[in-house]
A and B are shown apart, each in its own frame.
Chain A
Amino acid sequence: MLITRKAEFSASHFCRAASLNDDENRALFGEEAHLAGHGHNFVLEVSVEGEPDPITGMIVDLKDLRDILEREVVAPMDHRFLNYEVEPFAKVIPTTANIALEIWRRLEKQFHTPKFRLARVRLFETPDLYVDVVQPAAA
């Protein structure tokens, strides 16, 4: 069974590859390449997989999940300029995919329990664009 919790953060970023010149960056990233940056209201949906505990009837305490999202993602990223203020985006281009992967890495460390596991991170950069990171099927 999956349970999904939503969180929002607003942040600015730009996307440019250091190895490319201005025109190449424009061609590849479009408006996202503008050096002064721009912002989005990012919407994050985090899905956790597990079975409801027979006593509490819960997969995971939603308050705990909310606190983890707040501590690991919202507090460090909300109202920040990702390229300048949030690791590792000084070196890693903060594309939607890279931000989603970084959120996956931060959250995965918080789920060291056999009772439930991180199943999916979905990050909306705009209502019309989102990236999913899912756990690969067990080999």
Chain B
Amino acid sequence: MISLTRRYHFPASHRLHSPHLSEAENSRLYGKCNNPFGHGHNYVLELTVAGELHRETGLLVPLAKLDCFVAEKILRLFAYRNINVDVPQFAELVPTTENVVRVIGDLVRQHWAESFGDLRIHASRVQIQETDRNGFELLLSAPEIETLAAQRNESVMVHA
């Protein structure tokens, strides 16, 4: 089995604060990350693509196409942004890196088929380093998930 992993870098700020907890509880739980003004990280995102190598070109995926996908669907939302303020998914969601990796995983699943539906590949893993010391990894197993996501998109479009 073969996979390709591409690393992307994006600076962003966030503040960890749960509306379900008191000020004191938030402060105790999140410590420095609860600073009301927020703070930033140089996040490192890894996206892993697995599947069949294109026989003629020796590529799993044209890199420019993958870079374009990540730039448009993910980095445009997160890079040089305040995640709490600027990314709609975090209007009511605490931007822990667990939640950031989950939201990015959802974005990848949601948009994958429209960009890469013609290739026999799937996104198999999203990993984010918040700092050199903290890493968060989400495995996106099996193409069935993309199929389900595609079906979900279809039904959403029908409703619209």
Contact = CB atoms under 8 A, between A and B. Distances in A.
Nearest to A98: B58
B7 A97 contact: no
B49 to A, nearest CB: 10
Contact of B6 (A30, A101, A129): A129
Interface stretch (B59-67, B80-88, B129-137, B146-154): B59-67
A27 B59 CA distance: 13
B2 A93 contact: no
Interface string A23-42: 00001111010000000000
The majority secondary structure among interface residues of chain A is mixed
Interface string B5-19: 111110000000000
Contacts of A134: 1-3
A7 interface: no
Nearest to A92: B58
Contacts of A32: 63
B63 A129 contact: yes
Contacts of A130: 4-5
Given A30-B63, A30-B64, A95 B5 contact: no
B56 interface: yes
Given A28-B62, A30-B63, A30-B64, A129 B57 contact: no
Interface of B: 1-9, 48, 53, 56-60, 62-64
Given A94-B58, A128-B8, A132-B4, 5 more contacts: A27-B64, A29-B62, A128-B7, A131-B3, A132-B3
